[in-house]
């Protein structure tokens, strides 16, 4: 059917998918679906083989763990633990406790979930102690990645590796098989940020207000409503002309001397001689003035007191992993109507954007400066769309929190001492969470990051194709042939560890884990040694995503709130990657001899 042999087609599909992953041309899940379709339509795999990954234990297990993470966050357990342990220290003490807490929580919960939970805690601590938040968030993200090496449940790439091993008939990792090794590497990360790493963290200013940091005064204008204006007696929500011109109404200053209405809603009507506080570029304001009788007073240097009140606040919000706003703009996602919040500015990859923000496509890790009423902020906090950065004291449900802990411990114990499938045990745990009402049935499908599940299911098909056409043999032989013949197993392990770590910086960590697992198995077979050391090199390398904000979603989520640049990740992450690689290369053969 095709003039190209199937093995070459598989390599071509791999190459195209890698280009798409690296260039971020498409969403990860869409690339994975494309891989499945390409492998099937070209005859490289049957439909049953290509779709098998979507029914794998890895997909079921990771979906269940998202529900566990939601239950822990909803009950306030993770946030309460973090807040209690972290309070009452200086910068060094906070970093010590923060990295330990993040690593331990990430050993059994999703690392992106842990980061999302602790960002508000860090924000509150940074504000209270006068510490630049950038001194805390990078240690948080990196510690969460290292914590994923403590148990099989720690990261989705661990689960994906186990799934590949099961499909190929190899013995999967036990729940705590590499816990000692993972704890050592997590300890290395903690010590790193107490020593060298602390001096490599960026030193931002702690005393800048949100409006100063986001340069909001540059695009705030006061407009007087003329008596002849068509806006009179209309609410801001009804007057869609503002949205058409990409102008946001932040407040209404009443001419009668009444209190200023901030973040006006559908029940706040515009009156003659009101002054509207508008956010938008000068060009957009002029364009608006041409369509309605408005008189521009002046661009004003507003303090934050003009933009928030007792029940209206300015806060930062991060586009979280799995958010429905990812890949969409504020306009086509109907952000204002869905959240009730005004977006004043967007920080993307560390660069503040103030113009045409309504047309900017949102990505994981983008930070928004939002204005809204407390009730709308609380509703947004309980949803999955955005992560409100500032910490708000709210009561935790102790009874359900304790039940969540007990159920998770029961699942871990059963996984350790029984032969029942881990996915089945996790589903039993989800059933128990539903029974104690720690999670609502109607929220089950909303709290799962379906993009990750589709990504894993699709990339498992590529792993199957590699094994089916014995491409892992060729790749393993090429990897060994990169240096002189007669390499020792330890040297080959180091090469595999380095290659996996480098691939993780540019590819999704799950994709790297799936592809390199087959290679690890073939390397062990070619050298006639046990496969465990090489598999551990893949487990380790696919978690050391320290060099880029796009290497892992946990990194992306802290970039905006921390005010980081790309170079900050390389500066602080490269030494940590080198140190952990060296420790891993030494310890893996000790814990898993050849």
Look at the block and give the residue holding tokens 């007087």: 224
The CATH number that applies at residue 262 is 3.30.70.1450
* Residue 587 confidence (pLDDT) above 90: yes
Picking from 76, 46, 235, 60, the residue whose alpha carbon sits closest to that of residue 153 is 60
CA distance 288 to 297: 14
pLDDT digits (tens, 9 = 90+) for 69-99: 778 777 766 666 666 666 667 788 889 989 9
Do 237 and 112 share a domain, yes or no? Answer: no
**pLDDT at residue 301, as a whole number:** 44
The two most distant CA atoms of the chain are separated, in Å, by 88
pLDDT digits (tens, 9 = 90+) for 31-68: 888 988 999 998 888 888 888 888 877 788 878 888 88
CB count within 10 Å of CB 92 equals: 11
The side-by-side arrangement of strands in the sheet containing 386-388 is 351-353, 342-348, 367-373, 312-319, 386-388
Helix (H, G, I), strand (E, B) or coil at 317: strand
Partners of residue 251 on adjacent β-strands? 262, 277
CA distance 32 to 54: 11
Do 288 and 429 share a domain, yes or no? Answer: no
Last residue of a domain, one of 253, 277, 302: 302
C-alpha 22, offset from chain centre: 17
**pLDDT at residue 313, as a whole number:** 78
Last residue of a domain, one of 302, 318, 334: 302
> Are 72 and 105 a contacting pair, CB within 8 Å?
no
Residue 492 lies inside a defined structural domain of this protein: yes
pLDDT digits (tens, 9 = 90+) for 102-143: 999 888 888 887 887 788 778 777 777 778 888 999 999 999
Domain that holds residue 281: 210-302
Residue 415 lies inside a defined structural domain of this protein: yes
Helix (H, G, I), strand (E, B) or coil at 266: coil
Quote the DSSP letter at residue 312: E
Q: What is the CA radius of gyration of the chain?
A: 26
Last residue of a domain, one of 282, 302, 322: 302
> Are 135 and 38 a contacting pair, CB within 8 Å?
no
Picking from 588, 475, 581, the residue whose alpha carbon sits closest to that of residue 523 is 475
User: How confident is the model over 565-585, as a mean pLDDT?
Assistant: 93
Do 198 and 54 share a domain, yes or no? Answer: yes
Do 275 and 412 share a domain, yes or no? Answer: no
Contacts of 322 (CB under 8 A, 6+ apart): 384, 448, 449, 450, 451, 452
Residue 105 lies inside a defined structural domain of this protein: yes
Partners of residue 387 on adjacent β-strands? 318
Name the percent of the chain lying above pLDDT 70: 84
Do 261 and 170 share a domain, yes or no? Answer: no
Domain total of the chain: 2
Do 69 and 175 share a domain, yes or no? Answer: yes
Taking 3-state DSSP, the helix, strand and coil percentages for the chain, each rounded to the nearest 5, stand at 60, 10, 35
Do 288 and 253 share a domain, yes or no? Answer: yes
Do 113 and 243 share a domain, yes or no? Answer: no
By the 10 Å C-beta count (0-12 exposed, 13-18 middle, 19+ buried), 579 is classed as: middle
Residue 255 lies inside a defined structural domain of this protein: yes
Contacts of 55 (CB under 8 A, 6+ apart): 457
Contacts of 504 (CB under 8 A, 6+ apart): 512, 541, 542, 543, 544, 545, 551
Residue 61 lies inside a defined structural domain of this protein: yes
Q: Where are the alpha helices (DSSP H) in 195-245?
A: 196-200, 210-213, 241-244
Picking from 143, 18, 13, 159, the residue whose alpha carbon sits closest to that of residue 82 is 143
CA distance 91 to 194: 10
Residue 352 lies inside a defined structural domain of this protein: no
pLDDT digits (tens, 9 = 90+) for 308-318: 666 777 788 88
Whole-prediction pTM value? 0.77
Do 132 and 225 share a domain, yes or no? Answer: no
* Residue 582 confidence (pLDDT) above 80: yes
Cα three-residue angle 121-124-126, rounded to 5 degrees: 105
Do 235 and 139 share a domain, yes or no? Answer: no
**pLDDT at residue 395, as a whole number:** 46
**pLDDT at residue 302, as a whole number:** 47
Q: What is the dihedral of CA 504, 508, 509, 513, to 10 degrees?
A: -90
pLDDT digits (tens, 9 = 90+) for 235-288: 776 666 777 777 778 778 887 767 777 778 767 788 887 887 777 777 777 777
Do 129 and 81 share a domain, yes or no? Answer: yes
CA distance 148 to 156: 9
> Are 561 and 389 a contacting pair, CB within 8 Å?
yes
CB count within 10 Å of CB 329 equals: 15
**pLDDT at residue 574, as a whole number:** 93
257: left (phi over 0), alpha (psi -120 to 50) or beta: left
Residue 435 lies inside a defined structural domain of this protein: yes
CA distance 141 to 572: 12
pLDDT digits (tens, 9 = 90+) for 221-243: 777 777 777 778 877 766 667 77
Do 440 and 511 share a domain, yes or no? Answer: yes
Instruction: Copy the structure tokens of residue 520.
Output: 């690890």
Residue 253 lies inside a defined structural domain of this protein: yes
């Amino acid at each position: 059917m095709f003039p190209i042999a199937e093995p070459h087609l598989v390599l071509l599909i791999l190459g195209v998918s890698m280009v798409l992953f690296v260039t971020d041309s498409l969403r990860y899940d869409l690339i994975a679906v494309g891989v499945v379709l390409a492998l099937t339509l070209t005859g490289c795999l049957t439909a049953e083989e290509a779709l098998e990954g979507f029914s794998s234990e890895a997909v079921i297990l990771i979906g269940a763990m998202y529900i566990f993470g939601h239950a822990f966050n909803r009950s306030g357990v993770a946030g309460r633990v973090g807040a209690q342990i972290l309070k009452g220290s200086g910068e060094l003490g906070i970093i010590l406790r923060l990295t330990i807490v993040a690593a331990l929580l990430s050993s059994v919960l999703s690392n992106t979930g842990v980061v999302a939970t602790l960002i508000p805690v860090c924000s509150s601590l940074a504000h209270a102690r006068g510490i630049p938040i950038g001194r805390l968030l990078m240690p948080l993200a990196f510690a969460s990645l290292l914590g994923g090496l403590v148990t099989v449940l720690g990261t989705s790439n661990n689960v994906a590796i186990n799934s590949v091993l099961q499909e190929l008939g190899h013995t999967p990792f036990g729940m705590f098989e590499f816990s000692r090794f993972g704890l050592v590497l997590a300890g290395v990360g903690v010590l790193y940020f107490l020593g060298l790493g602390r001096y490599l963290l960026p030193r931002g200013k702690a005393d800048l207000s949100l409006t100063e940091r986001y340069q909001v005064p540059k695009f705030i204008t006061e407009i007087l409503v003329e008596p002849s204006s068509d806006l009179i007696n209309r609410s801001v929500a009804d007057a869609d002309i503002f949205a058409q011109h990409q102008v946001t109404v932040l407040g209404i200053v009443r001419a009668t001397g009444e209190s200023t209405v901030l973040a006006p809603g559908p029940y706040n009507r515009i009156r003659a001689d009101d002054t509207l506080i508008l956010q938008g570029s000068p060009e957009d304001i002029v364009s608006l003035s041409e369509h309605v009788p408005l008189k521009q007073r002046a661009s004003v240097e507003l303090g934050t007191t003009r933009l928030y009140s007792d029940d209206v606040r300015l806060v930062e919000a991060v586009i979280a992993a799995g958010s429905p706003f990812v890949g969409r703009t504020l306009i086509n996602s109907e952000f204002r109507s869905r959240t009730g919040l005004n977006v004043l500015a967007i920080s993307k990859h560390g660069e503040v954007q103030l113009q045409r923000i309504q047309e900017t496509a949102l990505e994981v890790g983008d930070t928004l400066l939002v204005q809204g009423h407390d009730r709308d902020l609380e509703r947004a906090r309980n949803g999955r769309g955005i992560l409100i950065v500032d910490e708000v004291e709210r009561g935790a449900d102790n009874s359900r929190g304790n039940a969540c802990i007990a159920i998770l411990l029961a699942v871990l114990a059963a996984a350790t001492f029984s032969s029942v499938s881990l996915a089945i045990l996790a589903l039993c745990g989800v059933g128990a969470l539903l029974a104690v009402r720690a999670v609502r049935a109607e929220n089950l499908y909303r709290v799962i990051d379906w993009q990750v599940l589709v990504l894993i299911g699709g990339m498992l098909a590529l792993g199957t194709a590699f094994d089916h056409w014995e491409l892992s043999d060729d790749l393993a032989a090429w990897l060994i042939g990169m240096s002189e013949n007669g390499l020792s197993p330890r040297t080959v392990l180091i090469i595999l560890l380095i290659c996996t770590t480098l691939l993780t910086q540019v590819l999704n960590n799950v994709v790297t884990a799936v592809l390199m697992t087959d290679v690890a198995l073939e390397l062990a077979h070619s050298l006639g040694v046990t496969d465990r050391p090489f598999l551990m090199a893949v487990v380790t390398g696919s978690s050391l995503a320290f060099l880029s904000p796009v290497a892992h979603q946990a990194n992306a989520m802290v970039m905006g709130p921390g005010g980081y640049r790309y170079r900050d990740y390389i500066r602080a992450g490269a030494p940590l990657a080198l140190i952990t690689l060296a420790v891993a290369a030494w310890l893996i053969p000790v814990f898993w001899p050849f």
